[in-house]
Amino acid sequence: MVDFQPEKDLVRSYYAALDTATASESSDVMARFCAPDLIWRGMHPFDTLSGPEAVADRFWSPLKSALARMQRRMDVFMAGRNSLREDAAVWVSSMGHLMGLFDDAWLGIPPTRKIAMLRYAAFHRIEHGKIVETAMFFDIPALMMQAGLQPFPVQTGAQLVQPGPLPHDALMFAPQPPEDGAKTLATINAMISDLGQWQSGLPLEEELARTWHDDMIWWGPAGIGATYTIERYAKQHSGPFRAGLTDRSGTGHICRFAEGHYGGFFGWPNFTARPTGGFMGMPATGQPGEFRVVDIYRRKGDKLAENWVFIDLLHFWKTQGLDVLGRTVGI
């Protein structure tokens, strides 16, 4: 077994302290567990922050003030060495929802005084017993929709609060067989090789069937939505996505790893592409835009079965001259 227990224990302790801290205590918790020069990457309008105090003041304290009695509902927890770097730093990743009572406005989003669930995925790089780098993606448009707002035109995928993995086996607090993680990573890499080309010479559904089960589930971000089965995924997301964008750059990730039957990656950005019309119901801009993405995967057998996707769509459309957050909440 490959043992990432010290890193896992650190992040679990960090979560336990942070999740029980008040808004005003967030800075102290961040300072205890994170390096002074922490690099923190968050979705628009947060982008890149430096140092624990800035992250606490800009993100955690306002969020905790807005989502009263917030709790973390985690669906995935895993660790591994970054397969993309020779130093093979250890990263710990988690995914789930931050749930609370939406009692005060956040980012101009009006409170509902009801349960609200902020979907998130986080990657933490650990060195010398501290968190030195974090990428935390959170689906702000999904929260906007829970508040009755409509940030994007209605799309073809389903917009809903998303569940965790079907087998409910992704909270990997204990070590996992390394051969399982190696097989998952190889499957993810094969899928990336196909996806990154967009021109495999095969019809789209045949291309997808090389690395995906026919009953795949693609849990996409709010504004695009979730799809089920290769046939519907091709019609409701992958086909329109490829048709509405051109000049896709190569794929670039900061971190990619797998443990057990699960794996994932993030990039900053993952790739760039130019909208030529139709993507998310929007007109063409002709301007290249950045896609910052997190993907979490579940492997079943020799193929991928589920995929949870976070795309910083607010940032992408901001690069196209459209402030979706600002125009929707009136700030």
Residue-level pLDDT at 28: 98
Topology agreement, domain 5-146 and domain 178-329: yes
Residue-level pLDDT at 281: 84
**Average per-residue pLDDT for the chain:** 94
Tell which CATH architecture fits domain 5-146: Roll (3.10)
Domain ranges of the chain: 5-146, 178-329
Confidence of residue 1 (pLDDT cuts 50, 70, 90): low
> Quick check: 172 pLDDT over 60?
yes
> Quick check: 78 pLDDT over 60?
yes
Give the mean model confidence (pLDDT) for residues 226-239.
95
What CATH number has the domain spanning 178-329? 3.10.450.50
Tens of pLDDT, residue by residue over 129-143, are 999 999 999 999 999
Tens of pLDDT, residue by residue over 25-44, are 999 999 999 999 999 999 99
Give the mean model confidence (pLDDT) for residues 216-227.
96
Cα–Cα dist 187/259, whole Å = 12
Give the mean model confidence (pLDDT) for residues 316-329.
94
Tens of pLDDT, residue by residue over 192-219, are 988 755 555 689 999 999 999 999 999 9
Share of the chain above pLDDT 90, in %: 85
